[in-house]
Amino acid sequence: MKLLYTAAALVLACALYLLFWPVPIDPIAWQPPEAPSTESGPHARNAHLSAVERIAESVGEGPEAIAIDAEGRLYTGFVDGRVMRFDADGSNPTLLANTRGRPLGLEVLSDGSLIVADAVEGLVKVEGGYAHTLSVTADGTPYRFVDDVVVNADESMAYFTDASSRYGIHEVMADAFESRPNGRLLAYDLETDEVRVLAEDLYFPNGVTLGPDEAYLLVNETTRYRVQRYWLKGERAGEIEIFVENLPGFPDNVTFNGEDRFWVALYAPRNPVLDALLPRPAWRKIAYRLPEALQPLPAKHGYVLAFDTEGQLLADLQAVGEDAFAPITSALERDGMLYLGSLSAPAIGRILLEALPPLKPPQAEDDES
């Protein structure tokens, strides 16, 4: 009988903990659209990325984003704060600086310096072997999670994202469970050192890139499964609209090939458990109280999408399983090669474009068949 009482007390204690223990998140309800099918159609599972080659192996972990200079050399940052340069084949690792934070997105300038989005240190410039911070706040609100950056052609402006004004890089799940618009899109003038907030109330704005003629920016909203377009020029300058939505996964970084297509890296496919929890804030609090091992976790699934400049899907590229290069957090096209970054992998990935299926809308493939 004593054992029975003890077990009942433990069950009651666990129930009270799951229902009432204070948590830092304040979730709101959101009904996500029905996830695209992974059994058939354009997002059916495939193995198009199974032949990804790994380069720059074992130099560091988490080359989240890749930049390439005019000579074809590769640049990336690692979880320990190092910003590194490699030859085009991943050899000759060269330490450029250590930000003492977590470098994520980065852009190489014509003089060899780098603008780095550092999740801990803010917007950072790397030059002459040192890293110094350019900006840590905008409109009186400090950055908590500077995530990605793109620099315009004349190198006068850096556009960047602060994914969350409430949670830092070690609290990603808190922001995801809360599902509030905590992020901002910003612009930093590299000539005057002034910073402007272009858009706020964004849902974990992650990757950012410039479109054709620098007329607009694309910015990924990770926790809304969509890509937004922010207009920089023309009659609609200052407006924001949906570019593509209801993606089959969590969009991370986005890049433009400079001509006709965008690459969107998906950190992981949609999680049906999380989708079911999103309309139920109280249940998300309970899930947040669970041990991390019991919370909805991403699958080992490499995933990249390509879109044309009208938001039309051109390619769905995947690889699933323990051997997959995953998670993929960025995809950068250069000279017939697609370079892949990862938040945690110990290498940079790359694959020849000619090794992939033709990049064209799915209906075009149907018309030819």
Over the stretch 215-238, which tens digit does the pLDDT of each residue have?
Answer: 999 999 999 999 999 999 999 999
pLDDT band at 24 (very low <50, low <70, confident <90, very high): confident
Mean pLDDT of 337-362: 95
Phi, psi of 287 (to 5 degrees): -60, -35
CA-closest candidate to residue 223, choices 283, 182, 165: 182
317: its two tokens = 């590229």
d(CA 78, CA 343): 9
Give the Å distances, CA to CA, from 245 to 89, 126, 217, 303.
Answer: 35, 35, 16, 16
User: Can you give the pTM of this predicted structure?
Assistant: 0.92
84: its two tokens = 């590194």
337 three-state secondary structure = strand
Second-level CATH architecture of 2-368: 6 Propeller (2.120)
Over the stretch 41-75, which tens digit does the pLDDT of each residue have?
Answer: 999 999 999 999 999 999 999 999 999 999 999 99
Domain ranges within the chain, ordered by starting residue:
2-368
